[in-house]
Amino acid sequence: MTSQAEFNYNRIAKAIAFIQEHFQEQPSLGEIAETIHVSPYHFQRLFTEWAGVSPKKFMQYISVEHAKQLLKQKGTTLADAAWETGFSGTGRLHDLFVGIEGMTPGEFKNGGENLHINYSFAESPFGKMIVASTEKGICHMSFMEDAQLAFNELKSRFPNAQYQQLLDKHQQDGLFIFQHDWSKLDQIKLHLNGTPFQLKVWETLLKIPMGSLVTYGDIAQKIEKPNASRAVGTAIGNNPVAFLIPCHRVIQSTGKIGGYMWGNTRKTAIIGWEAAQTDTHPEA
């Protein structure tokens, strides 16, 4: 059964896809509302409740021009200060810390046969999710359309692990990030299987402030591998933890959104939503 939250996000996603496709035409509120078969008044209310800003303001957030302005503010390569403040610089995430621990060879031996993994299904502002964790932290978090397919994807990462459908503390902490008051959020712990290069890229992504955008080249510069943009892109594409490791904040140097494992419309939705959360002077 489709929940109201999922139904609303699906309508929002359809509207965002239409906005993306027709952005240059600057579609009217009525034209956008017509695509999801609601009145302009109802669409304005639905969209504003979800995003925190009007559809008109949201269109500005997801424009190439807006992305270019954000990239220009940071310069060709990001200043260390901008990275080091990371989450703490946003105010809303003052007490949020995300820590990554790499899996040892023994933990991942024989497809994870030594791992006990809890998993659960949840809802987010951007659709349904599956989240899984070991005793050390979250090991997988993904947007999903179908629960069985999502579980099969998880099992393909750790084919020999032991699984139990259970919502534990690690998962609760990770999912709490979608709440608006994060001041009392415990540390989020991630327990990931990756190469040293992948782990370094993922740790670097954690330092991108919410509401900011960077390029693949910026990440390569930050990890002191300036010629490794393509390898950085591959590592980002293998990110096993959606949203918590914010690969959605990495875009093309042209200002275009670029690819996303969980769909470009969802990436656009997240970028616009985060911009609205961090804008100190949003317009209705």
Active site amino acids: 247
137 φ/ψ angles, rounded to the nearest 5 degrees? 160, 180
CA-to-CA dists, residue 176 to 82, 89, 171, 243, angstroms: 25, 19, 8, 12
Q: Residue 251 in contact with residue 213, Cβ under 8 Å?
A: yes
CA distance 154 to 139: 9
Cα torsion at 21, 23, 29, 34 (round to 10°)? -10
> Shortest CA distance to 126 belongs to which of 19, 9, 261, 242?
9
Q: Which burial class, exposed, middle or buried, applies to 32 when counting CB atoms under 10 A from its CB (0-12, 13-18, 19+)?
A: buried
Residues contacting 91, CB < 8 A, separation 6+: none
CA distance 282 to 284: 7
Q: Residue 217 in contact with residue 223, Cβ under 8 Å?
A: no
Measured in residues, the chain has a length of 284
CA distance 216 to 195: 18
Q: Which helix (H) or strand (E) holds 100?
A: strand 98-102
